[in-house]
């Protein structure tokens, strides 16, 4: 099967709006079950695969997502280009709620996750280059498509991946800021590195849901607000991807 684009939906994106003539694929992987069925259908005249990272009813927390199975399932169906849609908190002042960012760097603060397909008995050990964690050509496609769709996105930024599922302390975010992180999210890693191990092009559309701890005016982050901002940013995603598929 040829898949023109695969999309991994994050919090707030559990179905792909506008995906038509769909079929569902429950893929057996050597790493156990994926987060759910991969839904393959037509969108903007192309074949698109969609997988809800947290499951279609949001039952899989970030630290329990089977990232290897998800990437493996998409790859085995023929996906060679994957866009991860990720909810994030904004650290940089211009990355407030509802801003959309296409990051270009990552710092990984997660722990205890399977971060490599080499992590099984007898697998060949590979030390892949990860200097540029996202596929630059796919980042450019996303940025150009957003401009054509008239959706403002910021080009570049460092995504700090935390363990979750709790939000961070102010001190943790202050440290991440000193480290050079612009955004914080719980699911950007190991998704990006696993895509690279499979030679799958991968880029991230980071949707800012809130200012990270201590970065906004509020003393506390409200989950209701997070989901309201996320819904607004998520509504722009199909327009960006439709343009990307047209070019
Ligand atoms: N921290 C981590 N992940 C997130 C946040 C946050 O503040 N907001 C949305 N995802």
Query: Do 76 and 27 form a contact (C-beta atoms < 8 A)?
Result: yes
* CA–CA gap between residue 244 and residue 247 (Å, rounded): 6
Parent domain of 196? 5-245
The complex's ipTM works out to: 0.99
Query: Do 178 and 167 form a contact (C-beta atoms < 8 A)?
Result: no
Helix, strand, or coil (residue 67): helix
97 lines ligand 1 (CB under 6 A): no
Q: What CATH number has the domain bearing residue 205?
A: 3.40.50.1580
Q: Could you report the per-residue pLDDT of 30-59, keeping only the tens digit for each?
A: 999 999 999 999 999 999 999 999 999 999
Query: Do 210 and 90 form a contact (C-beta atoms < 8 A)?
Result: yes
> What's the confidence (pLDDT) of residue 15?
96
212 lines ligand 1 (CB under 6 A): yes
> What's the confidence (pLDDT) of residue 77?
98
> What's the confidence (pLDDT) of residue 247?
77
Query: Do 211 and 96 form a contact (C-beta atoms < 8 A)?
Result: yes
> What's the confidence (pLDDT) of residue 219?
82
Q: Which of 95, 185, 220 to mutate to test the pocket of ligand 1 (most atoms within 8 A of CB)?
A: 185
Tally of domains within the chain: 1
* CA of residue 216 to ligand 1 center, whole Å: 13
Instruction: State the virtual CA torsion across 213, 219, 221, 224 in degrees, nearest 10.
Output: -160
* CA of residue 68 to ligand 1 center, whole Å: 22
88 lines ligand 1 (CB under 6 A): yes
- Counting from 1 in the atom list of ligand 1, the atom nearest the Cα of 230 is 9
* Residues of the chain with confidence (pLDDT) below 70: none
């Amino acid at each position: 099967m040829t898949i023109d684009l695969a999309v991994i939906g994050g919090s707030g994106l559990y179905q792909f709006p506008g995906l038509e003539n769909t079929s569902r694929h429950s893929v057996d992987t050597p790493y156990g079950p994926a987060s759910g069925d991969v839904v393959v259908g037509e969108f903007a005249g192309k074949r698109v695969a969609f997988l809800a990272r947290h499951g279609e009813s949001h039952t899989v927390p970030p630290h329990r997502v089977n990232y290897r199975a998800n990437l493996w399932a998409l790859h085995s169906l023929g996906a060679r280009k994957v866009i991860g849609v990720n909810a994030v908190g904004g650290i940089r002042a211009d990355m407030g709620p509802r801003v959309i960012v296409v990051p270009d760097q990552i710092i990984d603060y997660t722990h205890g996750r399977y971060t490599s397909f080499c992590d099984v008995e007898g697998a060949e050990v590979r030390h892949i280059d990860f200097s540029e964690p996202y596929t630059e050509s796919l980042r450019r496609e996303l940025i150009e498509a957003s401009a054509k769709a008239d959706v403002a996105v910021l080009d570049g930024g460092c995504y700090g991946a935390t363990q979750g599922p709790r939000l961070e302390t102010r001190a943790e975010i202050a440290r991440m800021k000193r480290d050079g992180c612009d955004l914080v999210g719980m699911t950007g890693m190991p998704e990006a590195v696993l895509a690279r191990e499979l030679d799958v092009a991968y880029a991230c559309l980071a949707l800012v849901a809130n200012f990270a701890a201590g970065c906004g005016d509020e003393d506390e982050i409200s989950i209701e607000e997070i989901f309201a901002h996320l819904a607004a940013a998520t509504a722009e995603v199909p327009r960006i991807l439709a343009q990307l598929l047209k070019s």
